[in-house]
Chains A and B, each alone.
Chain A
Amino acid sequence: MRLSNKQVDRIATGVFYFFAFLIIVILGGLIGYILYRGIGHISFDFLTSPPQTFKVGGGIGPQLFNSLFLLVLTMLITVPIGIGAGIYMAEYSRPGKFTDFIRLVVEVLSSFPSIVVGLFGLLVFVNYFDLKFSLLAGALALTVFNLPLMVRITEQGIRGVPREQKEAGLALGLTRWKTITKVMLPVALPTILTGTILAAGRVFGEAAALLFTAGMSSPRLDFTDWNPFSPVSPLNPLRPAETLAVHIWKINSEGIAPDAAQIAAGASTVLIITVLLFNLGSRWLGRYMYRKLTASK
């Protein structure tokens, strides 16, 4: 029996609906399960107190702080370099072998396994530059991992600016630099910002690249000491710092506290909620800025 075109069309539609539904079920199930297991364990105390090695009742306060601080450090390094390189790729590079080569490097870099980036960080930043296990070494390793993404985001954002905008700037007698910074960048900003926040979510959840760079331990921190040069200050970039994602990995594999499983579940929930907030936040911010710029409702 031959199927009519109409029947084939109906079956294809059904199949595509099924796959879309499948993805939603997988994602929903995953998030639901993590939330279900961990949400009961989250309390103000859990989010702020330090972990315990042997006793019940340890928290994730320093780890949460480390993750956020490392994120800020990484972004401070990545965003200027990434935007600079992205502008170069979009506006200054001329098509040719050299540009193709840069693009190839960026792509290879972005597909590197993060554990390899971690080992590279161990050899270069931790050992060779003698940064020891430190936030700075971790931030530099994450930069290697994050930079290609930032370059691509910026390049796409700038390329997405209508050609006439650029020409309008140039035709008014603006230099190329001013046309880029005053006319094109503002138009590309929502795209760049949205992409940056998404990249930040990836950085926040990264563990493998940090195992051998930022380290798996945190020194005793004194949250009243904000001098970045003090060894017990949370702001000291040269201290080792275990992040939330690394902490989850550690207590799951070698945690000996009696409530290790609950802590891992709670920490996972915090991590996933944070990453979700990054995602939703970037969408909201992107839409908000687009509306503000174009004055559309």
Chain B
Amino acid sequence: MAIAAPSISSAGASTQPGGGAALAAEQLSIFYSDKEAVKKVDLSFAPSSVTALIGPSGCGKSTFLRSLNRMNDTIASASMKGSIWLDGEDINAPGTDVVTLRQRIGMVWQKPNPFYKSIYENIAFGPRYHGIKNKKELNEIVESCLRRTALWEETKDRLHQSALALSGGQQQRLCIARALSVQPEILLMDEPASALDPVSTAKIEELISELKQEFCIVIVTHNMHQAARVSDKTAFFYMGNLIEHNDTNIIFTNPENKQTDDYISGRFG
């Protein structure tokens, strides 16, 4: 199970060993046509940490998240200014290999979106595409990814059945397992538990706490309790601006900004 983490630029810069990479946005603005959805945001993410992005709907947090693995490229009207640094390289630089970039930065969506394939294929698909053809090696990747997401016991007897037959919570864990299969360094999660029941949500949160050891995780959430439970740092967005960014316990107990205080205590948003 060895997919090298190559540099995203042809120049080649060293990646930090273990704990995921460091990611930082600098003066980042994102536009949909003329509308500025994210306004000059400076925000950095440390390896082996969970950062929660919170804020009311339409505040730009999801747009910001999707810019980190250039998923906004697929939206024709989206454009951006500023920089996003991954281990000292600008991911939007002209020579950037966006395919390698996305392999290094995994993503999980709000709605579970397993491929219309078997459980096994959902995991094996990415590694196989990236050059692992050996059947035994693929089997090992599938098993280890499913074990890490606590799905192995539930699915080991039906690996070759369609992933769409799983429950919503299982599908979401499968999607996380799929993201892990190509050995990313950073995981982006866009409200990963908002479509799930409380039991499944608890399992996802537990998983995030475990994965934190190895990855830099950025999670968008509408659930204040979830942000408080799983994250080390919290960033509060409002109307495209980053209002406050600090340790989660400070944000939730003693925020500097009044808007942050109002939001987390439920007085607006």
Contacts and interface: CB of A to CB of B under 8 A. Distances in A.
Interface of A: 94-95, 162, 164-175, 178, 182-183, 186-187, 293-296
A182 B128 CA distance: 12
Contacts of B81: none
6 contacts: A162-B113, A168-B115, A168-B178, A171-B69, A172-B125, A296-B165
Contacts, number: 76
B164 A296 contact: yes
Interface in B80-112: 99-107, 109, 111
B71 interface: yes
A178 to B, nearest CB: 6
Interface of B: 69, 71, 74, 76, 99-107, 109, 111, 113, 115-117, 125-126, 129-130, 161-162, 164-165, 175, 178-179, 181-182
Given A171-B71, A172-B103, A294 B113 contact: no
A250 B129 CA distance: 56
A168 B113 contact: yes
A216 to B, nearest CB: 47
A92 to B, nearest CB: 11
Contacts of A294: 116, 162, 164-165
B115 A165 contact: yes
Contacts of A164: 109, 111, 113
A95 B178 contact: no
Contacts of B74: 166-167, 170
B109 A295 contact: no
Nearest to A162: B113
Among A166, A170, A294, chain B packs the most CB atoms within 10 A around the CB of: A170
Contacts of A174: 99, 126, 129
Given A182-B129, A294-B162, 15 more contacts: A95-B76, A164-B111, A165-B113, A171-B69, A171-B105, A172-B179, A172-B181, A172-B182, A173-B101, A173-B130, A173-B182, A174-B99, A175-B99, A295-B161, A296-B164
B125 A182 contact: yes
Contact of B116 (A170, A172, A173, A186): A186
Contacts of B116: 165, 186-187, 293-294
Contacts of B101: 173
Contacts of B113: 162, 164-165, 167-168
B238 to A, nearest CB: 26
Given A95-B76, A164-B109, A173 B100 contact: yes
Q: Sort A-B residue pairs by CB-CB distance and give the 6 closest, nearest first.
A: A173-B103, A295-B162, A164-B113, A171-B107, A172-B126, A295-B165
Contacts of B165: 294-296
Contacts of A183: 115
Given A94-B76, A95-B76, A187-B116, A171 B106 contact: yes
Contacts of B125: 172, 182
Residue of A94, A171, A294, A296 contacting most chain B CB atoms (<10 Å): A171
A13 to B, nearest CB: 37
A168 B106 CA distance: 9
Contacts of A172: 102-103, 106, 125-126, 129, 178-179, 181-182
B7 to A, nearest CB: 14
Contacts of B164: 293-296
Nearest to B161: A295
A250 B182 CA distance: 64
B162 A293 contact: yes
Contacts of A178: 129
